[in-house]
């Protein structure tokens, strides 16, 4: 079986615009209206819709790509795995688009007919008619331990469709971009006479090809799409206590909507980089703290750092290695810092220290 990229004749790195363009061209070629009664063309038309159904949806495309990678790695029999954050849906969405394959030609035309432009009449009204919300976008983000636990801002670069600023997402410029011939309806009605009887025929407008927009006023920046592909930098706020594999949902930072539709959301899959000193258990932070021998035996204070700064850790007399001392409220969101005592021998001894340790040893015997 051909993969969906091969079906559409595009590279696996193709942009959404390239995919749409390729689908449009091929779907027009194999359109049932152009190939009446041709079962092979209809099959091909359905196959194209299946490919487009998957590749035009960022979420489905990502899952499909993962599936392809998996197939390449482990051959047939590979089962789609869940993505980060467990949002994947094994058994839910079929990676090879069974849902589109079972679509009828009518269903395909209803869903995707809009992108054929004026060539097939009716369908075009759906493309510019009701507004459509933008797709949700996703990004994986590595965050250092400190930012994740204490909260902070991380700047990420996102690419995807954003509303065209030249035309404010309308796809057209000027106060009245309506097509002068059809006055924006996208259709023209003509009177015909057949066998002595008059009747009216409604056709897609020949001037605007059914879009309803004056072709001379189509926005030059976005070619009338209302959106453009763009890479932008976005500051993401990481809330205090964000855990590894958490998913943050940022409203309105996904793909731009069309026809004034709301933008989609951005889902950020967070991976927290481990820290060499601290580790987290719930809202508690754990770390090892070196304590000199005499302080451990006699009690005292030793300096250490929590995530919030420098503190003096109180060591009770007779503390052993491995003892856990709790600093209340020094963890995350009111959690504690748990210091594990690591008693340290002096790396070298002065003659006086040696004398004292010898004496101590004798007393232990
Ligand atoms: Zn524009
Ligand atoms: Zn028109």
Q: How far is the CA of 289 from the centre of ligand 1 (A)?
A: 60
- Report the chain's terminal Cα–Cα distance, integer Å: 81
Q: What percent of the chain has pLDDT above 70?
A: 83
Interval 144-183: pLDDT, tens: 999 999 999 999 888 877 888 888 887 888 888 888 888 8
Helix (H, G, I), strand (E, B) or coil at 51: helix
Lowest mean pLDDT: which of 15-29, 92-106, 192-206?
A: 92-106
Of all ligands present, the nearest one to the C-alpha of 230 is: 1
How far from 27 is each of 20, 139, 149, CA to CA, in Å? 10, 31, 51
Of all ligands present, the nearest one to the C-alpha of 212 is: 2
Q: How far is the CA of 265 from the centre of ligand 1 (A)?
A: 22
8 A C-beta contact, residue 219 and residue 172:
yes
Confidence of residue 86 (pLDDT cuts 50, 70, 90): very low
pLDDT at res. 79: 37
8 A C-beta contact, residue 136 and residue 265:
yes
* Greater model confidence, 6 or 169: 6
Q: State how far Cα 313 lies from the chain centre.
A: 44
281 closest CA partner among 337, 340, 238, 329: 337
8 A C-beta contact, residue 237 and residue 148:
no
Question: In this structure, what token pair is assigned to residue 130?
Answer: 């009701």
8 A C-beta contact, residue 302 and residue 312:
yes
Q: What number is the average pLDDT over the span 235-254?
A: 92
Question: Which residues hold their Cβ within 5 A of ligand 2, which is an ion?
Answer: 179, 181-182, 205, 207-208
Domains of the chain: 4-128 (1.10.287.110), 134-161+229-274 (2.60.260.20), 279-364 (2.60.260.20)
Of all ligands present, the nearest one to the C-alpha of 228 is: 1
Q: How far is the CA of 188 from the centre of ligand 2 (A)?
A: 7
Q: How far is the CA of 122 from the centre of ligand 2 (A)?
A: 13
Q: What number is the average pLDDT over the span 99-114?
A: 63
Lowest mean pLDDT: which of 220-229, 312-321, 325-334?
A: 220-229
Q: Give dist(CA 176, CA 291) in Å, integer.
A: 78
How far from 308 is each of 206, 275, 301, 332, CA to CA, in Å? 69, 15, 18, 10
Q: How far is the CA of 170 from the centre of ligand 2 (A)?
A: 16
Q: State how far Cα 231 lies from the chain centre.
A: 14
């Amino acid at each position: 079986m051909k993969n969906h990229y091969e079906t559409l004749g595009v590279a696996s790195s193709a942009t959404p615009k390239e995919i749409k363009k390729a689908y449009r061209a091929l779907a027009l070629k194999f359109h049932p209206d152009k190939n009446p009664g041709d079962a092979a063309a209809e099959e091909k038309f359905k196959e194209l819709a299946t490919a487009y159904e998957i590749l035009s949806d960022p979420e489905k495309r990502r899952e499909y790509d993962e599936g392809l990678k998996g197939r390449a790695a482990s051959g047939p029999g590979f089962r789609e795995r869940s993505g980060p954050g467990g949002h994947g849906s094994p058994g839910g969405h079929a990676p090879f688009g069974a849902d589109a394959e079972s679509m009828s030609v009518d269903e395909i035309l209803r869903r995707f007919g809009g992108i054929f432009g004026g060539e097939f009449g009716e369908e075009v009204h759906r493309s510019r008619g009701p507004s459509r919300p933008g797709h949700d976008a996703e990004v994986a983000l590595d965050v250092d331990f400190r930012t994740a636990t204490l909260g902070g801002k991380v700047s990420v670069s996102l690419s995807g469709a954003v509303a065209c600023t030249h035309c404010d997402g309308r796809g057209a410029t000027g106060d009245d971009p309506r097509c002068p011939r059809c006055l924006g309806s996208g259709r023209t009605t003509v009177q015909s006479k057949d066998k002595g009887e008059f009747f009216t025929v409604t056709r897609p407008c020949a001037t605007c090809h059914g879009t309803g927009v004056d072709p001379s006023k189509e926005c030059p920046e976005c070619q009338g799409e209302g959106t453009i592909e763009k890479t932008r930098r976005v500051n993401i706020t990481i809330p205090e206590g964000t855990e590894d594999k958490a998913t943050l949902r940022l409203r309105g930072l996904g793909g731009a909507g069309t026809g004034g539709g709301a933008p989609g959301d951005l889902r950020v899959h967070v991976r927290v980089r481990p820290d060499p000193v601290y580790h987290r258990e719930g809202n508690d932070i754990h770390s090892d703290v070196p304590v000199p021998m005499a302080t451990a035996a006699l009690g005292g204070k030793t300096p250490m750092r929590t995530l919030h700064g420098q503190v003096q850790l109180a060591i009770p007399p007779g503390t052993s290695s491995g003892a856990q001392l709790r600093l209340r409220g020094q963890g995350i969101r009111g959690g504690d810092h748990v210091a594990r005592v690591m008693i340290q021998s002096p790396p070298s001894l002065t003659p006086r220290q040696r004398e004292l340790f010898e004496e101590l040893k004798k007393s232990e015997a």
